[in-house]
Amino acid sequence: MTLPPPAERVLAHTRTTRFHGYERSDGLWDIEAEMIDNKPFAFDLSKDRQLQADEPVHHMCIRVTIDNQLVIRDIATSMQAYPHAPCISADQHMRKMIGCVMGQGWRKSIDTHLGGIAGCTHMRELLYNMATVAFQTLAPKALAYYRDAPANPKRPPPPHLGGCMTWDFKGPTVQALYPVYFDWPNQSQTD
Q: What is residue 157's predicted lDDT score, i.e. its pLDDT?
A: 83
Domain ranges of the chain: 14-147, 152-191
Kindly give the pairing relationship between strand 29-38 and strand 14-23.
Answer: antiparallel
Cα–chain-centroid distance for residue 18?
Answer: 11
Q: What is residue 191's predicted lDDT score, i.e. its pLDDT?
A: 41
Q: Which residue type does 132 have? A: T
Length of the chain, in residues: 191
Q: What is residue 120's predicted lDDT score, i.e. its pLDDT?
A: 93
- Return the axis-axis angle of helices 106-114 and 121-148, rounded to nearest 10°: 150
Kindly give the pairing relationship between strand 58-66 and strand 49-51.
Answer: unpaired
Q: What is residue 187's predicted lDDT score, i.e. its pLDDT?
A: 52
Positions of the chain with pLDDT lower than 50, given as ranges: 188-191
Q: What is residue 124's predicted lDDT score, i.e. its pLDDT?
A: 96
Q: What is residue 189's predicted lDDT score, i.e. its pLDDT?
A: 41
Where would I find the beta strands (DSSP E) of the chain? 14-23, 29-38, 43-46, 49-51, 58-66, 72-81
